[in-house]
Amino acid sequence: MENCWAWVLAASSETNACISSVLTCQAEYGYPFLA
């Protein structure tokens, strides 16, 4: 999960990239990433 968070935080400067990262994390990890 730490890698997932780091990925999202790294992309946070670009909103679309951040959203895409969160959706990918949801798909890969199988849980609501931002519950």
pLDDT tens-digit readout, 1-35 = 566 677 777 766 667 776 777 778 777 776 655 54
At 22 the pLDDT is 76
At 19 the pLDDT is 76
Listed by start position, the domains of the chain span: 1-29
Q: What is the C-alpha to C-alpha distance for residues 4 and 33, in angstroms, rounded to an integer? A: 9
Cβ pair 31, 3 in contact under 8 A: no
Q: Tell me which residue of 3, 20, 2 sits closest to 11, measured CA to CA.
A: 20
Question: pTM higher than 0.85 for the full model?
Answer: no
Q: What is the C-alpha to C-alpha distance for residues 31 and 15, in angstroms, rounded to an integer? A: 21
At 35 the pLDDT is 45
Q: Is 30 left (phi over 0), alpha (psi -120 to 50) or beta?
A: left
